[in-house]
Amino acid sequence: MQYGTFDDVRREYVITRPDTPLPWINYLGCEAYFGIISNTAGGYSFYKDARLRRITRYRYNHAPLDLGGRYVYLRDDASGEFWSPTWQPTRTALQDYTCRHGQGYTTIQSSHAGITAQIRYFVPLGENLEIWQTTLTNQRAQPAELSLFSLVEFCLWDAQDDSTNFQRNYSIGQVEVVDEVIYHKTEYRERRDHFAYFACSEPLAGFDTQRDEFLGPYRGWDNPQAVAEGRARNSLCNGWQPIGSQQVRLALQPGESRQVIFLLGYHENPVADKFDPPGSQVINKRGVLPVIARYRQPTVVEQAFARLNHYWDELLGRLQVQTPDLHTDRMINIWNAYQCMVTFNMSRSASSFESGIGRGLGFRDSNQDLLGFVHLVPARARERILDLAATQLASGGAYHQYQPLTKRGNNDVGGNFNDDPLWLVLGVAAYIKETGDWDILSQAVEYDNQPGSAEPLLGHLRRSMQYTLDRLGPHGLPLIGRADWNDCLNLNCFSETPGQSFQTTTNTEGKVAESVFIGGLYVLAAQEMEGLLRHLGLAVEGQAWLDAAATLGQAVLGAGWDGGWFRRAYDAFGQPVGSSENVEGQIFIEPQGMCVMAGLGLQDGRAAQALAAVQQRLATPHGILLQQPAFSHYYLNLGEISSYPPGYKENASVFCHTNPWIMIAETKLGHGDLAHDYYLRINPSAREGISEVHRCEPYVYAQTIAGRDAATHGEAKNSWLSGTAAWNYVAITQWILGIRPGLEGLEIQPVIPQDWPGFKAVREWRGTRYEIEVERQGVAGAVELWADGQRIAGNLLPLPPAGTARVQVRVILM
């Protein structure tokens, strides 16, 4: 069953009924001003940091779902009937409801009582504001007298404090309303130098800024008294809950359309220039008045929207493919790349499943997000790498996260995850492969943001590599620390106290529990490190890291090998985890994927054996499970992983982040059919037809799909913010289609399904546009390459002379 359809030409997902199984969201903004918006206009906005600069309020876990957002109400002033053209919050039955989620914008349209309303929400490039471009059309044969009400509820900036500290917050709310613009200025009188504003293109019949005067006592968003009576109160908020609502009266002739523009914005003033006149308590508005004046004009708004679309044409144009498979094309050409931008911007902070107050930018997560983002806006990837590296600790370890606003690392979600530093090596290597910007390695970067501690980025990578070697356990495998990639495999935790966080509770010292996964990750990172060092003329050092990796690799193939697959770990008592010796959790997906990606076991058949075990024990029609058998009870020595009921999250769901590792591993064995089959099992577009089972958005990946032990096998959760986005993008584009940026050239090595006659792709790389045509002539998979008609030996297209605009690439698969 479907709740909408893809419009690939307009790059939109078109939702055709408002009651989707869950709110199906989109993101507004791609630079500094951001918002999440659902298909019924729910959601909230923030500036840079979803916790510390929250502009509008939102309550999660609400019943009914998804209440609070960017609402407008329409009222027929003749009959008194009112409704929400975005369905929520009144949930009046609507005709012709559609919600079009596109790249950085959402348009919701509907008709009711002979009035058509369309609202396009977007954030113009380069601005700290959002626009609600509202068009009303009277389809009646009679004139219509209407009132249009807007509504936002302001958050008192720090979203955590806002939702907890009521004894203070009910007394601090403040606004100004000047020339029909509503300014939200809570705490501006003291230490804040930022405020929000809400403006409208039309003269107002009234406004409200005090929530309970607008709603009326004990009434909800679905039935505000001001709307019901068609009369805004002109309330001025003092304490309690500041809102912004405007009332516009419109008389529309039959067939007449009118546009009303609402602007919600954020602005910061220089501290010395906060007040106007100086010494007063009145906001200095000189910075925002010209912006408001500009965006009140429909032509300016149209131009801003066209610029946003053009921006996305350009970004998505960097890699476009034409394959025999619609779902592959749609995800690569549009949605997966778009999701990579969103995960880069948000990390794991704000979605329908991430509250915006829990997590900032993760060290491990952001480095992986780079893998799928780096070709879109390389300059931003560079900045992110340097920010991340500056939170690295002098030990080579890393804070697990930092807040985007402060860019300082913190231990709020725990520390001592021993895999963290190695992801930096992968992130930096991917950046240099994409850009050829070798200079980044000599950029001086501090440790833990401490003045005086700076050393070139290359030194950070060295410390990342050394960090693992300094922490080896009894089997010569890396110590796991608090956890590795799998945050829930807590081998040193032993938590028995209800409510205790598995992430932050005290660990035992942890000199025994080891991770096979980190062993594989190290071998992969060492290969990247060696490539970088060789290019810099430091081949001897590069070889030394490879030698260390070879020793570790021996440990992985020794104590890390279970006989039929790679083990997962050793627990704090030195007992294997992910072994046939275990009763539950005998085989885990992560080490099979990571070790084979690192090349371990490729020579001696063990890689093939491990992947066969994955296919036999872990693969389901809904994707590949994280481990089996699922843990049926809580294991003190394993921690959070066994806290989830079987089939959910880390306890044996299809944890989608890990599936592309197996796809990549399969391509290493030349198995294009199986790799692509696995790809399609979790591809959201391919699952669109079972939306009643999948339940999350069919246009983006979710973190998990409930496993076969779950009551709801096939049900997705945690959509949007997951490393799944970047890794699937890498798997399909670089390993299955096989177009792979390298340090010294573009590698071409497709491993595609046998029944594909070929495919076409356009890839912009380091300033050159590669027009690639792949044709299958045989089944063995060997590649014959031509660049502009010249036969190239091997599968590496060397860098063309500087300034080459276009290279025609012909690829024959033999």
503 binds, among ligand NOJ, ligand BGC, none (CB under 5 to 8 A by kind): ligand BGC
Q: What is the contact mask toward ligand BGC in residues 430 to 469, using x (rule: CB under 6 A)? A: ----------------------------------------
596 binds, among ligand NOJ, ligand BGC, none (CB under 5 to 8 A by kind): none
For ligand NOJ, the binding residue among 202, 325, 365, 709 (CB under 6 A) is 365
112 binds, among ligand NOJ, ligand BGC, none (CB under 5 to 8 A by kind): none
Q: Smaller CB distance to ligand BGC: residue 288 or 589? A: 589
Q: How far is CA 14 from CA 3, 202, 639, in A?
A: 9, 30, 42
Shortest Å distance, C-beta 790 to ligand NOJ = 44
Shortest Å distance, C-beta 485 to ligand BGC = 9
Determine if 364 is a binding residue for ligand NOJ (CB under 6 A): yes
364 binds, among ligand NOJ, ligand BGC, none (CB under 5 to 8 A by kind): ligand NOJ
Strands 806-813 and 768-776: parallel
Q: Which residues contact 69 (CB under 8 A, 6 or more apart)?
A: 37, 38, 40, 41, 42, 43, 44, 58, 86, 88, 89
Cα separation, 576 vs 100, in Å, equals: 50
Q: Smaller CB distance to ligand NOJ: residue 174 or 651? A: 651
How many residues of this chain bind ligand NOJ (CB under 6 A)?
9
- What letters, b where the CB count within 10 A reaches 16 and e where it falls short, cover 77-99? eeeeebbbbbbbbbebebeebbb
195 binds, among ligand NOJ, ligand BGC, none (CB under 5 to 8 A by kind): none
Tokens of 32: 């500094």
Q: Smaller CB distance to ligand BGC: residue 388 or 488? A: 488
For ligand NOJ, the binding residue among 112, 211, 274, 348 (CB under 6 A) is 348
Determine if 709 is a binding residue for ligand BGC (CB under 6 A): no
Q: Of 214, 191, 199, 207, which Cα lies nearest the Cα of 247? A: 207
For ligand BGC, the binding residue among 301, 413, 430, 607 (CB under 6 A) is 413
38 binds, among ligand BGC, ligand NOJ, none (CB under 5 to 8 A by kind): none
Angle at 477 between CA 473 and CA 478, to 5 degrees: 75
Beta pairing partners, 589: none
Q: Smaller CB distance to ligand NOJ: residue 260 or 430? A: 430
Q: Which residues contact 540 (CB under 8 A, 6 or more apart)?
A: none
Residue nearest to ligand BGC (CB): 487
DSSP string, 88-101: TTT----EEEEEEE
Q: Smaller CB distance to ligand NOJ: residue 341 or 594? A: 594
> Among residues 487, 562, 571, 709, which one is catalytic?
487
3 state SS of 142: coil
Determine if 582 is a binding residue for ligand NOJ (CB under 6 A): no
Q: How far is CA 169 from CA 62, 157, 243, in A?
A: 21, 11, 14
Helix (H) or strand (E) holding 195: strand 194-200
365 binds, among ligand BGC, ligand NOJ, none (CB under 5 to 8 A by kind): ligand NOJ
Angle at 755 between CA 751 and CA 756, to 5 degrees: 60
Determine if 568 is a binding residue for ligand NOJ (CB under 6 A): no
Beta pairing partners, 148: 74, 248
* CB atoms closer than 10 angstroms to residue 745: 19
Q: Which amino acid is at 293?
A: A
How many residues of this chain bind ligand BGC (CB under 6 A)?
7
Helix (H) or strand (E) holding 120: strand 115-122
424 binds, among ligand NOJ, ligand BGC, none (CB under 5 to 8 A by kind): none
* 487 belongs to the catalytic site: yes
Tokens of 726: 């970047």
Determine if 640 is a binding residue for ligand NOJ (CB under 6 A): no
For residues 468-527, which are near ligand NOJ according to CB under 6 A?
485-488
Q: Of 639, 625, 654, which Cα lies nearest the Cα of 722? A: 654
Shortest Å distance, C-beta 502 to ligand NOJ = 11
Q: How far is CA 291 from CA 265, 300, 569, 725, in A?
A: 9, 11, 57, 35
Residue nearest to ligand NOJ (CB): 487
Cα separation, 115 vs 139, in Å, equals: 6
Shortest Å distance, C-beta 488 to ligand NOJ = 5
Determine if 162 is a binding residue for ligand NOJ (CB under 6 A): no
Shortest Å distance, C-beta 659 to ligand NOJ = 13
First to last CA, the chain: 41
362 binds, among ligand BGC, ligand NOJ, none (CB under 5 to 8 A by kind): ligand NOJ
Beta pairing partners, 107: 100, 120
For ligand BGC, the binding residue among 181, 232, 445, 488 (CB under 6 A) is 488
For ligand BGC, the binding residue among 53, 649, 657, 763 (CB under 6 A) is 649
Shortest Å distance, C-beta 90 to ligand NOJ = 37
Determine if 666 is a binding residue for ligand NOJ (CB under 6 A): no
For ligand BGC, the binding residue among 176, 208, 650, 709 (CB under 6 A) is 650
Cα separation, 354 vs 612, in Å, equals: 35
Q: Of 266, 246, 297, 27, which Cα lies nearest the Cα of 129? A: 266
Cα separation, 368 vs 770, in Å, equals: 25
For residues 619-648, which are near ligand BGC according to CB under 6 A?
640
For residues 337-396, which are near ligand BGC according to CB under 6 A?
none
For residues 171-230, which are near ligand NOJ according to CB under 6 A?
none
Cα separation, 607 vs 149, in Å, equals: 62
606 binds, among ligand NOJ, ligand BGC, none (CB under 5 to 8 A by kind): none
Which residues lie near ligand BGC (CB under 6 A)? 413, 487-488, 503, 640, 649-650
Which residues lie near ligand NOJ (CB under 6 A)? 348, 362, 364-365, 485-488, 650
Give the catalytic positions in this structure: 487
